[in-house]
Amino acid sequence: MPQKTGEVAVASARSTIPQTEHQNWAVYGGLVLTMFVWGLAWPVGRLLATNLPPVSIAAIRYAIVVPVLFAILWLREGSFKINRSWIPTLVVMGILNTTLYQIFFLYGVKYAAASDDSLVIGIGPVLIAIMASFILKERLTWTKILGFASGLAGIITISVLSPNTQVLNRPLGVTLVFGGATAYALYTVILRRFFSKNRADNHGPQQSSLSILAWISLFGWFFLIPFSLLEAPWTYTWNVGSWLGIIYLAILSTIVGYFLYIEGVSKIGAGRSAIFGNLVPVFGVLTSVLIGENLSPWTAVSFLLILAGVLLVNRQVKNSGS
């Protein structure tokens, strides 16, 4: 997904609130650019998945991403070392964030419109707040429940009333993307618990967010490969446009997006950077028009319902001091 390749959760989990509060317009511009890149990834993904095997697209994408991440890791830190006791948790996070999310994302855009799917993924922060209430024992309040109901209403709205009717199976596609959002939310909550546990262990090794992301991506990629082979990708036609699309998802959406987002988090904090994430569905919808998808008043209604859900759960998190 575009934006959900682990960089948001990893960066947010490891960030601290910056000391300065002065506005940094260069950082804001970088964050807006990042959200545009992530939003554009939805129609790019749909163009690819329409005629090519979805899991193979993801496997090739991460065949590019993983070596680049480890190359950058070596240049910056001179080491690939990881605590062996962390490996089981990193494998689980890799399966959720890379394997399952990518499968849900690409099959979702195969069956439903990219604009509709990009709206659905916006419910991610709502799902994270709900799961955190159960897994991290954060307080579950009526405000969070109302936020979840609002977000779900937005998904139902676009599922039933979308103007994009010329698709293979819209309910299935939207459901798959919702499954992807659920997998990513669970990954994020596990990641938070992982970092909290290791911060509490003052004697344990401290890993950078880049190192964690690289290993999570590697483990998740391993599980994509066998599913890709089942698709027999060598029987499909991969033209120049296909490779350009995959390079876009790998280099711009994943690598460049990661570093731009990290820069934003380091300058203005994880909370304020995360606000920009609400632009991803907007850019996803707008750029999907370029590939012939349609908009209607129901598109706006769906977006506003999902956005209201995000604002409600974030308001509650702030009020509860979380």
pLDDT at 281: 93
Asked if residue 172 belongs to a domain, the reply is yes
Asked if residue 115 belongs to a domain, the reply is yes
Q: Of 16-25, 143-152, 161-170, 255-264, which gets the smallest average pLDDT?
A: 16-25
pLDDT for 239 beyond 60: yes
Using CA atoms, how far residue 37 sits from 30, 99, 254, 318, in Å, is 10, 21, 9, 29
pLDDT for 200 beyond 70: no
What mean pLDDT is predicted for residues 76-103? 94
Highest mean pLDDT among 8-12, 68-72, 279-283, 309-313: 68-72
Asked if residue 241 belongs to a domain, the reply is yes
Asked if residue 68 belongs to a domain, the reply is yes
Using CA atoms, how far residue 224 sits from 50, 98, 255, 260, 306, in Å, is 19, 8, 19, 26, 30
What mean pLDDT is reported for the chain? 88
pLDDT at 112: 96
pTM value is 0.88
Determine the Cα–Cα distance for residues 125 and 311; give it in Å rounded to an integer: 9
pLDDT at 206: 65
What mean pLDDT is predicted for residues 201-208? 64
Asked if residue 2 belongs to a domain, the reply is no
Asked if residue 214 belongs to a domain, the reply is yes
pLDDT at 216: 96
pLDDT for 317 beyond 60: no
pLDDT for 99 beyond 50: yes
Determine the Cα–Cα distance for residues 143 and 152; give it in Å rounded to an integer: 14
pLDDT at 319: 43
pLDDT band at 23 (very low <50, low <70, confident <90, very high): low
Determine the Cα–Cα distance for residues 297 and 292; give it in Å rounded to an integer: 17
pLDDT for 10 beyond 80: no
Asked if residue 1 belongs to a domain, the reply is no
How many domains is the chain partitioned into structurally?
1
Structure tokens at 312: 């409600």
pLDDT at 122: 93
pLDDT at 14: 55
Using CA atoms, how far residue 2 sits from 34, 123, 257, 308, in Å, is 10, 15, 9, 22
Asked if residue 167 belongs to a domain, the reply is yes
84: containing domain: 7-319
What mean pLDDT is predicted for residues 28-56? 96
